Amino acid sequence: MLQQLLVQPQSACHVAAPAGPVRDVVPGGQGAPVVRAQDPRLTGEHRAVQLDRRAEVTGLAALSSTGVFHLGQVAAYLDDESVREGAIESVLSRVTADTRAVMAHSLGTVVAYEALHRLGRPLPLLVTFGSPLGLRSIIRARLRPQPLRTPDGLGRWVNVADRDDYIVSTLRLRKLFPKTDEVLERTHLVKNANADPHAAPEYLKHWETVAPLARVL
């Protein structure tokens, strides 16, 4: 059973085939592209995105933050145009014509939203979890493009949230988008461990997060 597809960017990336066991993919491994978008300036440098090709699942791109949401990292992305553009271009360079799904967590969902608006070709699936896209005063009003809308060419958008996740400002992300938008689904609610309800590994334990992949991979 699929249990975990991604852990934090500074450790090995865990992926699993749709019908197979969880696999550990160690640094330096070969395989199809998986994109991991790391939060900006984690080491004080303009390192907005860290990308690897370490997955054994063809057609999956996974974007994640460190699992710790820092306002300084958000500001680096939103205020520094070089950081923002670097993150978006790095993601777009790895989301290829073979990519069937993008998974994004935390600040990675912001990068995914903006990057996929520039993709210019069909993408069957976007899965977002622990997303701050609904944070009105910090993020929502500064997203590009405005007003909010689903990226062109996106076939399905699944959003997953824990009501105790301190980064998720709304459990009704769908209501922030046009009523005519039929791509973004109503938010799927899950219950993560109380110790860290925002953690990516917690979200990836839930069938609501990983089940959509079985239809496209």
Least confident of 15-24, 36-45, 48-57, 79-88: 15-24
- Per-residue pLDDT of 8-19, as tens digits, reads 222 222 222 233
Instruction: Please tell me the distance from the alpha carbon of residue 95 to that of residue 36, in angstroms, as a whole number.
Output: 11
- Per-residue pLDDT of 139-165, as tens digits, reads 999 999 999 999 999 999 999 999 999
Domain 36-49+63-211 grouped into CATH 1.10.3720 = no
| Annotated domain spans of the chain | 36-49+63-211
Of the two residues 2 and 129, the one the predictor is more confident about is 129
Please tell me the pTM assigned to this model.
0.75
Which pLDDT belongs to residue 48?
34
Instruction: Please tell me the distance from the alpha carbon of residue 177 to that of residue 187, in angstroms, as a whole number.
Output: 13
Instruction: Please tell me the distance from the alpha carbon of residue 180 to that of residue 162, in angstroms, as a whole number.
Output: 26
Residue 143: other Cβ atoms inside 10 A: 15
The torsion angles phi and psi of 114, rounded to 5 degrees, stand at -75, -40
- Per-residue pLDDT of 69-122, as tens digits, reads 567 788 888 999 999 999 899 889 888 889 999 999 988 999 999 999 999 999
Find the mean pLDDT for residues 162-186.
93
Task: Write the CA distances from 181 to 83, 165, 175, 207, 216, integer angstroms.
Answer: 30, 25, 10, 25, 21
Which pLDDT belongs to residue 37?
38
Does pLDDT of 192 surpass 90?
Answer: yes
